Amino acid sequence: MSVNNNTIHVLQDQKWVSIPWKKLQVGDVVKVEQDGFFPADLLFLASTNVDGVCYIETANLDGETNLKIRKALEKTWDYLTPEKASEFKGLIFFID
């Protein structure tokens, strides 16, 4: 089985659906569960942790096995709860 056939939860039409990684597109809102693996760079919007943080392992990218701490965007981490995720609408601009 190809790695690209693994699935990920994506928000579509205000509900979570499972799609193969190969169909993941830029701009998709995804749900990564604890100990879950994801196939792409992500903009971290929210966490179920009260302080809005998550811990990620990047061993497949850089060989490091230490967990890295990431904090969700300040504008979204305390607003975007699992219950409200289906209501999420917005635009995110990246300026390099």
Q: What is the pLDDT of residues 64-90, one digit of tens each?
A: 888 899 998 887 877 777 677 777 777
Check if the beta carbon of residue 42 is closer than 8 Å to that of residue 24.
Answer: no
CA distance linking residue 38 with residue 58, whole number of Å = 11
DSSP-based three-state secondary structure for 42 = coil
6, 39 in Cβ contact below 8 A?
Answer: yes
Residue 26 predicted with pLDDT over 70: yes
Confidence of residue 1 (pLDDT cuts 50, 70, 90): low
Residue 17 clears pLDDT 90, i.e. is over it:
yes
